[in-house]
Structures are given as C-alpha cells and as structure tokens.
Amino acid sequence: MSFAKAFSPALREIRIIFSQTGPASAGTRQFIVSKYPDIKKHNPDLPVLIREATGTPARAFARFARGVEQHVELENLSAPEVEAKVAELISS
C-alpha cells in the first residue's frame, strides 16, 4: 500500500514507538525516515506521534473514532514488513 494518500477519516491518530538505537527497531526507523514526510504531506491534520526511548520494543498504535485503539508489534521487522504491518493496522 502506498502511504502517499489521505487515510480514512475514521483514523484519528497514529503513534509509533521505538528505540533510537536498538537493532530490533531499525526497520521502523527506516520506515519513518522514508514515509513520514509523505504521510504528513497527504494528511496534514492527522496526528502522527513519533516517540523514541532507549530499548523500547517497536510498536505502532492506531486510534479510531471513540477512542478505540489497535496496535501492532514491529519488533525485529524489516522496513517493508513494517510498512505492510502499519498499512494493515491503519486500514483495519
């Protein structure tokens, strides 16, 4: 799935949490560097929170209407795998 488009309005917030240096988060970091500007460009009002903390397992959260949250584990995934997981998460 391409991230260069506007997401469904049901999606209210994306949070991506990972470690700055941990090898298990490498794919997630790569994903953010390549896709974050695209996502923001097409969804300027969608909050995308990127939070880094040493040694945290990489995870992504999506919040939908009425505070319903879903999340996926991104630990040890490569960049394309992260992409697939996140795409699945936000379209769920």
Partner 1 sequence: MLRIVSSVSRPTSTGLLGKVAVTTHTPHNGRRSFSSTSSRGADITLTVDGKEVTVPQGSALIQACEAAGATIPRFCYHDRLAIAGNCRMCLVEVERSPKPVASCAMPAMPGSKVFTNTPLVHEAREGVMEFLLANHPLDCPICDQGGECDLQDQSMRYGSDRARFHEITGKRAVENKDLGPLVKTSMNRCIQCTRCVRFANEVAGVEELGTTGRGNDMQIGTYVAKTMDSELSGNVVDLCPVGALTSKPYAYHARPWELKNTESIDVMDAVGSNIRIDSRGVEVMRIQPKTNDDVNEEWISDKTRYAYDGLKFQRLTTPLIKRGDRFVSATWEDALAAIADGLAASGAKDDEIQGVVGHLTDAESIVALKDLINRLGSDNLALDQPGGNAAPVHGVEKADAILLIGTNPRHEAAVLNSRIRKSWLHTGLEVGLVGERADTTYGYDFIGEDAKALSNFIAGKGPFVEKFKNAKRPLIIVGSALAEHPDGKAMYNDLAKFVEKNKDKLVTPEWNGFSILQRVASRPAAYELGFPKFIYLLNADEVDPKSIPQDAFVVYQGHHGDLGAQLADVCLPGVAYTEKGVTWVNTEGRAQLGRAAVSSPGASREDWKIIRYVFSWPIYRWGPLPYDDILEVRDRLWDISPTLVRYDVTEPTSQEIAIAGLKTLATQTGGAKVAGTPLRNLSQTSTKLILYQERESVTMAQCTRAFVKGENYGFTAFA
For the chain, the C-alpha Rg in angstroms (whole number) is 12
- Applying CB under 8 A, which part among 16-24, 72-80, 82-90 lies near partner 1? 16-24
C-alpha triplet 85, 83, 71: angle, nearest 5°: 35
| The one among 10, 70, 71, 73 contacting partner 1 by CB under 8 A | 71
Q: How far is the CB of 90 from partner 1 (least distance, A)?
A: 15
Beta-carbon contacts of residue 10 (< 8 Å; ≥ 6 apart): 64, 65
2/66 with CB nearer partner 1: 66
Beta-carbon contacts of residue 77 (< 8 Å; ≥ 6 apart): 27, 28, 58, 85
Under the rule (CB under 8 A), what is the footprint of partner 1? 12-13, 15, 17, 20-21, 29, 32-33, 36-37, 40-41, 44, 47-54, 56, 61, 63, 65-67, 71
